[in-house]
Every structure is written in C-alpha cells, then in structure tokens.
Amino acid sequence: MNTSQDRANRISSWSARSRDLLWIMTTIIISHLVIIAMIGFELSNAYIPASIYLVFMTFMGIMGSLDAMDDIAIQADDADDEEKQTKAWKRFNETQWGGFKGLLIGWFGLTALSELYVMWLA
C-alpha cells in the first residue's frame, strides 16, 4: 500500500484539496464583499434573496472548508514509517487543525451574522 506511487497519490490529493480550500475561501470572501457593497449602496429590495443566499453560502462554506481540512489532515495517517521520519510529515502532523477550524467558523459565521444584523436590524 505504501509505494512511491501511493506517496505521489497522497501528495496529489493533498494538493487538490488545498486548492479546493483556497477556492472555497475565495468564493466566500468575494460573496461577502458583494453583499457588503449591496448594503453600502442600500439595495434593500434585494435583502431577502441576499439573506437566503448568505445563510446557505455560509453553511456551505463552513462545511466545505472543514471537509477539505479533514481530507488534508487525513493524508498524514496513510504515511509509511519512512515517510513519517521526514521533517515535512512531522511538521504537518503537529498542525493544530482545531484552531484553524475555530477561526474559520468564527470568521464566516460572525461576518454573516453582522451582515444580517446590518440588513435587518440596524
């Protein structure tokens, strides 16, 4: 199971899921900027569809990002004994994924809540 091809497959999968995470986060950031601009231009007739989009986009962004992080982290579990001796594997294995996940949930969630607050209550 742990051939050089398996190692290449893990690196390829890790790279693909890292790129997925980058695109998810980029999409969420752009979506928030569009909604913030919409609020700034006081386009209140679009608040209902924007609110629905914001809620679903936030949940999908959080779920997709957490899934990508878990897929990236799980690649380390398939390493063989030789690969586990590399500095890259040791550094990767020491990464505190919980902190990143907490920050991501807070960032996406609190931004969405603040936008909904400004749209409906402010």
pLDDT digits (tens, 9 = 90+) for 58-86: 999 999 999 999 988 888 777 778 878 88
Positive/negative CA dihedral, 58, 61, 63, 66: negative
Regions of the chain with pLDDT less than 50: none
- pLDDT for 2 equals 66
- pLDDT for 122 equals 81
Q: Of all residues in the chain, what percent are helix, strand and coil, respectively (each to 5)?
A: 85, 0, 15
Q: Has this prediction a pTM greater than 0.85?
A: no
| 5, 67, 68, 120 from 8: Cα distances, Å | 5, 21, 19, 50
